[in-house]
Structure 1
Amino acid sequence: MEVSFHHNEQLVRPWRTAAFAAAAVAAVELVVLIVVGGALIAKASTGTSAKPVQKAALTRTAATKTGSSSAGANPRRAVVPAARLPRSRVSVVVFNGGTRQGAAAATAAKVSRRGYRIGSVGNAPSSDFTRTLVMYRKGFEGEGRRLASDLSIKIVGPLDGLRTAQLNGSHAVVIIGG
Structure 2
Amino acid sequence: QGRDRKLNACCRLDWRSRGICCRDAGVLLRENLKTLRHTILRVGEDAVFEKVWTKSSRSPIAYGYGRIYFENYRCCYTSLQARPRLLYELPKRARSEKIEDVLICTCPLVKAHLHEAPDESSLLALTADNWLYRLCQDTGGQLQRVCLSAQHKFRSVDATPSYACFYCMFPQGN
Asked if Structure 1 and Structure 2 have the same fold, meaning a TM-score greater than 0.5 normalized by the shorter chain, the answer is no
Please, what TM-score do these two structures have when normalized by structure 2?
0.23
Structure (1 or 2) with the greater strand fraction: 2
Query: Structure 1 or 2: larger helix share?
Result: 1
Task: Compare relative contact order (CA 8 Å, sep 6+) and give the higher one, 1 or 2.
Answer: 1
